[in-house]
């Protein structure tokens, strides 16, 4: 149980840091395409958290 809580916190922190970090895989100044990687990370984080 504690491992799942810890893993959930780690997933949340990693996704949050990715959104707040100024360096992305695809820069955000490229319209639409730059936001796709942010959305994919968010979706991946939610799916990973949901499966815990």
Give the domain ranges of the chain: 2-50
pLDDT for 44: 92
First to last CA, the chain: 10
What contacts 24+ positions apart, CB below 8 Å, involve 49-52? Answer: 49/8, 49/11, 49/12, 52/4, 52/7, 52/8
Residue 15: other Cβ atoms inside 10 A: 19
Tokens of 38: 């942010």
Could you tell me the pTM of the whole model?
A: 0.72
**Which sign does the torsion angle of CA 24, 26, 31, 33 carry?**
negative
pLDDT tens for 8-48 read 999 999 998 988 887 777 777 778 887 888 888 889 999 99
């Amino acid at each position: 149980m504690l491992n799942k809580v810890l893993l959930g916190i780690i997933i949340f922190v990693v996704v949050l840091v990715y959104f707040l970090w100024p360096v992305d895989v695809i820069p955000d100044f490229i319209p639409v395409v730059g936001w796709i990687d942010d959305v994919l990370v968010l979706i991946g984080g939610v799916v990973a958290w949901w499966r815990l």
